[in-house]
Amino acid sequence: MSTCILTTGSPKRIGFISTRFQGTDGVTLEARKWAQILSSMDHACYWMAGSLDTPPESSHLAPLAYFNHPEVAAVQSQLFGVALRSRAITQSIHGMRDRLKDELYRFIEKFRIEVLIPENILAIPMHVPLGLAMTEVIAETTLPVIAHHHDFAWERERFALNGVNDYLQAAFPPLLFGMEHVVINSMAQKELARRLGIPSQIIPNVLEFEVPPPGLDDYNRDLRQEIGLQADDWLILQPTRVIARKGIEHAIDLVRRLHDPRAKLVISHPAGDEGNAYMRMLRDRIEDARVDVRFIADRVGETRGVNAHGQKVYTLADVYPHADLVTYPSHYEGFGNAFLEAIYFGKPVVVNTYAVYARDIDPLGFKTIEMSQLVTQEVVEQTKTILQDQPLRQCWAETNYQLGLKYFSYAVARRKLAARLANLFGEGV
């Protein structure tokens, strides 16, 4: 029996564009994965953003593209939470749009770009001038586009009241010829069709399940000791930023209700960019609950090394092998990278059934401890059981890893990306 293999024809020069490709935010991580997959298919990948840690020889830095650029931040602060905008603000927007268009054209010409991949800049209006500039460049060049949308304006309460609805309708996202729209979950797909009549395809967030996860080695073996834990402590890992939608108060409550001195909650990431009120609330909760919580963001980085105090810095991949349990009580996620990471490293997960999880992930059969906005006694008992039952943890780990390989591996993204390119170029079925 012959097998039909989807290819993408001749190699293409592909340009990724966003506000930043730096650090470990979700957009940056997924863009890197796409680039790795596309490079394995013989395509060449290039980068443009306002903040970059990508290879200089394949990158174009445009500082004005960064959402925290002073000019951009000053304008953006006057666009949301208001119903009107002034003529002066409109002029500022258009002035920045034109300068950003120049940068986009320089990027395209510099690297002879053949396919554009705007990463989230045509979905969430963190940088309205950049979205407008990107839309106009697409319309003017008619270059093929795979627009990768991670989250939309209508998914964030802070964008509900705004003075730029005309721009949101025009560019977030636009409906133009030669565009393939990609979303990361089925809810976004349905809402994009319902609100704007734009069809899209789902490419979920992925991990390279084809390659086994790293484990303990000579560098990371001492992590527990370095953060002050004993060998028999339960390292309960909260692998997210400290922001309100992550629901970390539920993880604190869970640890409190375990009533076991071995239970230590370890939070690996720093606070986000949403102010300090949530962190203050968490510290009050921790004090009231009298639980042991370790904030280790100063010991976790993108690469191994030392921090300003001369202490060892570990990567997140160094932390996961030490975890006995992962808490993921988010109220909302566009997809859920931390869930995939926990599955990849074979760790049991306590997960809040946020909407995308309930619709797109839960039906696939993953073995998890589920909560629905409340840490019930059943959740507590299930958690105690999984912490004390090593054979059960191993069974869950094996089941979950195979499901991850089936539904969220690089092979899944490779096949779906090949289909998008084939649609754009009419090549290789």
Cα–Cα distance list, 148 to 129, 161, 202, 224, 252 (Å): 18, 25, 10, 38, 35
Would you call 390 helix, strand, or coil by DSSP? helix
* Closest C-alpha to 148, from 175, 128, 121: 121
Q: Are 340 and 207 in contact, with CB atoms under 8 Å apart?
A: yes
Summarised one tens digit per residue, pLDDT across range 114-163 is 999 999 999 999 999 999 999 999 999 999 999 999 999 999 889 999 99
Q: 118 with 160, same domain? A: yes
User: Considering its fold, how many domains does the chain have in total?
Assistant: 2
Residue 426 pLDDT greater than 50, yes or no: yes
User: Considering the domain boundaries, does residue 32 fall inside one?
Assistant: yes
Summarised one tens digit per residue, pLDDT across range 304-320 is 999 999 999 999 999 99
Q: Are 152 and 74 in contact, with CB atoms under 8 Å apart?
A: no
User: Considering the domain boundaries, does residue 214 fall inside one?
Assistant: no
Residue for token pair 């990278």:
337
Q: 139 with 253, same domain? A: no
pTM for the whole structure: 0.91
Q: What is the CATH number of the domain that holds 26?
A: 3.40.50.2000
Residue 3 pLDDT greater than 80, yes or no: no
Summarised one tens digit per residue, pLDDT across range 73-113 is 999 999 999 999 999 999 999 999 999 999 999 999 999 99
Residue 411 pLDDT greater than 50, yes or no: yes
Q: 229 with 325, same domain? A: yes
DSSP H or E run through 109? helix 87-111
What is the domain extent for residue 143?
Answer: 13-206+410-425
Q: 381 with 414, same domain? A: no
Bridge partners (DSSP) of residue 326 are 237, 349
Q: 23 with 101, same domain? A: yes
Confidence category of residue 8, pLDDT binned at 50, 70, 90 = low
Bridge partners (DSSP) of residue 149 are 183
Q: 237 with 324, same domain? A: yes
Q: 45 with 90, same domain? A: yes
Q: 267 with 131, same domain? A: no
